[in-house]
Amino acid sequence: MNRWIASAGLIASILLTQACAVKPPVWNGSIEDEPPLSLDDANQAGNNWVWLDQTSDWFYRDGEPVKPDYMNWDFEGKGIAFRFLAPQQLNLHSGRPHTLYLRVFQLSDLKVFNDMKKSQAGIRELLTATDIDPTFLATNEFVISPDEMLKTTVERMKDTRFVAIVAGYYQLDPSEVVKVFPIPAVANRTGHTEWTARLNPFADDPPPEAARIKAWVDLGVTKLSRLQMLAE
């Protein structure tokens, strides 16, 4: 009897060690100069989302999309990484390139923002105002020069549900100087693994988490040209 108990204890210890050895993917908030080739691979699977810029929507690459559980979301110190890439003729006006001022907003709701982004006057206010509305949780400002690559990482606020990029081009066309995307959810990165399932097959899966985002933003000559993203 004692030998059986000892064996059972040893097996449980091994399983627990295996479970503890399962680590979530490493994330340090850095971003590559260019998006990975796998970003456009339709056969690539994983607990992540890719951004479809033409339809302004996320695509989940691991079956049934994960639904967000906002109550369990938390602040993330390096939650969103950006790479901005500017052409030589950035913000072309009167035959000359110029620097570009842009803002990145974190939003808890889109109603006020959507109302403002419809007009040039609203865009100008988004680019200049300080206290706009309580739904604007954080604002990051950047000035980018022609032919420059800028990489940066920003904190993601706990209540952030959407992110908006607004660029101050001379040709201030509301339909071409704004990009907006929601923060998707991913399955818990520590996960209900095979080993934890063996230890407690009746345990509930841990709640989904807010995705960490890498965003490659191509700045065009007179508009925001392309947005490629990976959320994981």
Does residue 165 contact residue 203 with C-beta atoms inside 8 Å? no
pLDDT > 90: percent of the chain: 71
Helix, strand or coil for residue 179? strand
First-residue to last-residue Cα distance in the chain: 48
Please name each of the domains of the chain with its CATH number.
27-231 (2.60.40.4150)
Does residue 212 contact residue 79 with C-beta atoms inside 8 Å? yes
Distance from C-alpha of 32 to C-alpha of 226, rounded to nearest angstrom: 16
Pairing of strands 213-219, 209-210: unpaired
Per-residue pLDDT reduced to its tens digit, 54-88? 999 999 998 889 999 898 899 999 999 999 999 99
φ, ψ for residue 187 (rounded to 5)? -60, 145
Average pLDDT value over all residues in the chain: 88
Does residue 107 contact residue 163 with C-beta atoms inside 8 Å? yes
Does residue 185 contact residue 208 with C-beta atoms inside 8 Å? yes
Distance from C-alpha of 81 to C-alpha of 211, rounded to nearest angstrom: 12
Per-residue pLDDT reduced to its tens digit, 172-202? 999 999 999 999 999 988 865 554 555 566 5
Distance from C-alpha of 209 to C-alpha of 232, rounded to nearest angstrom: 10
**What is the DSSP annotation of 86-140?**
--TTTT-BTTB---EEEEEEEES-SHHHHHHTTSHHHHHHHHH-S---TTEEEEE
Partners of 167 in beta bridges: 102
- Which residue type sits at 178? V
Element (H, E) at 162: strand 162-167
Q: Quick one: three-class SS letters along 4-33?
A: HHHHHHHHHHHHHHHHHHCCCCCCCCCCCC
Per-residue pLDDT reduced to its tens digit, 23-58? 555 788 899 999 998 887 767 888 999 999 999 999
DSSP conformation class of 166: E
